[in-house]
């Protein structure tokens, strides 16, 4: 956040394309930025530094994607304990516009350990849903874990461990059960990049495709004007509904230290044992002229 705030003060971000190393200059003034979208599993440092208040006082709109999964020291070893994350969610909902806070339960994972038992990370879902509903949350985004070579490489050193991937029918069973439970708590369920799963559901299931950067929703909450064009750099064919924004984060300059086994972004060899460092992704939505 110190780096982020220094760039805000400067008025621009310099973003390096990870593929061609091209540097883009992104405007960062409140006159040019409609909304700052924060993504994290740990908003503790953000809250402690009162960065939200500072940014709002400067004229920025803030939107939060908060991933809160079940407690799992195996899958997410350096994420704060669930009670702390739920306290952070409650704080955000009390101090910021709750319409601009989305709970992500993501991804849903199945895995086998050396005792041959198939486990999942759904154990705390009901508790999180209850606490989220009490805080005023109305949107939950979820998806099932995707398989990537870097994930297989990462878990190769864990004896007897492997991820398992449920059938489409099993996914339907799980997602419909989640949807019904959330509906009773006045929370709508959305899927992230789950085109096949979403297409297999009845139209009246109430489960819809998500846009994790929802420019139309940002305009509805904060007013103003934004482009509703889909972000071509995302997985549109897989069902991504995100709209155009500028990602100003960098896994090279700002690596994540949560060490999640299912992470698709961090390199397989890029893990660390430094649990005192935190990470969050940041995107900004530029105002439409």
Structural domain of residue 174, as residue ranges?
2-286
**Confidence (pTM):** 0.90
What pLDDT score does 289 carry? 52
Of 103, 98, 96, the residue nearest 39 (C-alpha): 103
Whether pLDDT at 275 is above 50: no
* Range list of β-strands (E), the chain: 12-16, 23-27, 33-40, 61-67, 101-108, 110-112, 118-120, 139-144, 162-164, 188-191, 208-209, 246-247, 280-286
- At 237-260, the pLDDT tens digits run 776 778 888 888 777 777 888 999
Domain count, the chain: 1
158-202: pLDDT as tens digits: 999 999 999 999 999 999 999 999 999 999 999 998 889 999 999
Sign of CA dihedral 18, 24, 28, 31: negative
Contact 119, 113 (CB under 8 A): yes
């Amino acid at each position: 956040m110190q780096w982020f705030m220094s760039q805000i003060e400067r008025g621009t971000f310099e973003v390096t394309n990870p593929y061609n190393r091209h540097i883009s200059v992104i405007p960062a003034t409140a006159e040019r930025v409609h909304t700052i979208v924060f993504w994290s599993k740990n908003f503790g440092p953000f809250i402690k530094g009162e960065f939200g208040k500072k940014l709002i006082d400067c004229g920025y709109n803030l939107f939060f994607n908060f991933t809160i999964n079940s407690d799992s020291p195996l899958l997410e070893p350096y994420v704060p304990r669930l009670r702390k994350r739920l306290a952070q969610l409650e704080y955000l909902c009390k101090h910021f516009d709750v319409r601009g806070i989305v709970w992500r339960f993501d991804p849903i994972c199945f895995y086998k350990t050396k005792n041959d038992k198939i486990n999942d990370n759904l154990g705390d879902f009901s508790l999180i849903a209850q606490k989220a509903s009490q805080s005023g949350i109305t949107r939950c985004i979820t998806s099932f874990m995707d398989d990537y070579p870097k994930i297989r490489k990462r878990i190769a050193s864990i004896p007897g461990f492997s991820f398992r991937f449920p059938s489409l029918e099993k996914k339907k069973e799980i997602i419909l059960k989640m949807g019904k439970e959330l509906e009773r708590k006045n929370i709508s369920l959305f899927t992230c990049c789950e085109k096949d799963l979403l297409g297999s559901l009845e139209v009246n299931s109430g489960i819809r495709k998500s846009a994790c950067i929802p420019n139309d929703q940002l305009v509805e909450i904060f007013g103003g004007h934004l482009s509703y064009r889909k972000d071509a750099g995302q997985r549109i064919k897989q069902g991504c509904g995100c709209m155009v924004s500028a990602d100003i984060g960098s896994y090279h300059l700002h690596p994540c230290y949560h060490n999640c086994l299912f992470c698709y972004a961090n390199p397989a060899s890029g893990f660390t044992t430094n649990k005192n460092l935190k990470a969050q992704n940041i995107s900004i939505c530029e105002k439409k002229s």
